Amino acid sequence: MQGMTMTQKILAAHAGLASVEAGQLISAQLDIVLGNDITTPVAVNEFEKAGFDQVFDPDRVAIVLDHFVPNKDIKAAEQSKQCRTFACSHCISHFYDVGKMGIEHALLPEQGVVTAGDCIIGADSHTCTYGALGAFSTGVGSTDMAAGMATGKAWFKVPSAIRFRLSGKLPANCSGKDVILTIIGKIGVDGALYKSMEFTGEGVSSLSMDDRLCICNMAIEAGAKNGIFPVDDVTKVYLQGRSEREPVIYAADEDAEYEQTIDIDLSAIVPTVSCPHLPENTRAAAELSDIRIDQVVIGSCTNGRMEDMETAYRILKGKKVAEGVRCIIIPATMQILKECIERGYVSTFIDAGAVVSTPTCGPCLGGYMGILAAGERCIATTNRNFVGRMGHVDSEVYLANPATAAASAITGYITDPKEA
């Protein structure tokens, strides 16, 4: 019998099978079903249209209001109200609204809602974030979310895998964002289409949990079904005292089959920027110093975590945002925002000329809190830079790590952090 990858082992266990192989169709039990304020209303409509009257487990459904909350307009308010009504009527225990909400993919790991060994679906493409914890997690449509909420199951085609063998250690001013941008630049936005991106090698141990969450978050930008890291001491420390359920640890078999193996030397990574209008269009930040910017966004489900706030603070402390540049900083959860206040980061950000927001996805998807006009350029720590992603179709979005974004805010041009 052919050995299994880490992803395949999790899927086999949740399908009640001794083994699975790439391409096999399975029905798997779900540990968590996730939705947000945009996708949940659609799922609720389908749930009710199908005649379902209860969720499979009110403790295994999570609804996070994060895209347009606090509500930006009447439509957003109506969508949020529908989520609140459904969560109340079905006694959903993991319902996060104003005051305790956060960006879903930062909030669920922080709160221990997801853990190692889980099988998770979410009606949001960046649900693949939780692979950083050693879970199988993937984004689905709202109809699949509705079925998942009702039955606690989902159909999957077992993915084949690409192994990314990491070595070395990241240089200063580089983070997980540079790792995943470098990989996407190498393999393209469809380079891992419906495959599992499995990260291995001695370099894994040098990556923080925030780095890993960022890397898995953007696995979808390479077309992947999921991204996943092995459970090591870093993972165990993060999960200890946090996970609601006992973590279950899976490891790939020695003879697991991978479509290919790609070696990545972390020590060779440089601050990397993804230029418009695809994440694969990557260049070194140092090569883009002639590009003037109008806006900087530091936040999102990709880079709004505590290490990202620490990086922004380190670079902005005692400096000023360039004249004519709007710098928007969005801690990803209320807990992170509170810690930024307690550490004095928020005062530093304001003194530098930045604005600080409550947690929201807002500008990342062109929703609110930072829409771009025609001809404007933004450097952002977000995950997508498609045409019109952050506003007008004639605007441009450049993706970067928090150090590069903060350095660029000071100079007004895309800037390698070591030059700031």
pLDDT at 10 (0 to 100):
98
Residue 413's identity, in one-letter code, is Y
| Residue 380 backbone dihedrals phi, psi, to 5 degrees | -140, 150
Residue-level pLDDT, tens digit, the chain, 420 residues: 789 999 999 999 999 999 999 999 999 999 999 999 999 999 999 999 999 999 999 999 999 999 999 999 999 999 999 999 999 999 999 999 999 989 999 999 999 999 999 999 999 999 999 999 999 999 999 999 999 999 999 999 999 999 999 999 999 999 999 999 999 999 999 999 999 999 999 999 999 999 999 999 999 999 999 999 999 999 999 999 999 999 999 999 999 999 999 999 999 999 999 999 999 999 999 999 999 999 999 999 999 999 999 999 999 999 999 999 999 999 999 999 999 999 999 999 999 999 999 999 999 999 999 999 999 999 999 999 999 999 999 999 999 999 999 999 999 999 999 876
**228, exposed or middle or buried, with CB in 10 Å at 0-12, 13-18, 19+?**
buried
> Strand ranges (DSSP E) for 8-109?
25-29, 32-36, 61-64, 94-96
Q: Which tokens in the block code for residue 174? A: 């580089």
**Superfamily of structural domain 273-419:** Aconitase, domain 3 (3.30.499.10)
CATH match for 6-264 among 3.30.499.10, 3.90.1200.10, 2.40.128.640, 2.60.40.3470: 3.30.499.10
Kind and range of the H or E run holding 326: strand 326-329
Q: Which tokens in the block code for residue 344? A: 């004095």
**Domain range summary for the chain, segments of one domain joined by +:** 6-264, 273-419
Q: Which tokens in the block code for residue 75? A: 């439509």
Q: Which tokens in the block code for residue 69? A: 């909350």
pLDDT at 418 (0 to 100):
86
pLDDT at 2 (0 to 100):
81
Question: Looking up tokens 């993804």, which residue turns up?
Answer: 274
Kind and range of the H or E run holding 282: strand 282-284
- Asked whether this chain's domains 6-264 and 273-419 adopt the same fold, the reply is yes
CB atoms within 10 A of CB 109: 25
Residues 169, 251: Cα–Cα separation, whole Å: 23
Q: Where does residue 324 fall: left (phi above 0), alpha (psi -120 to 50 degrees), or beta otherwise?
A: left
3-state DSSP call for residue 3? strand
pLDDT at 369 (0 to 100):
95
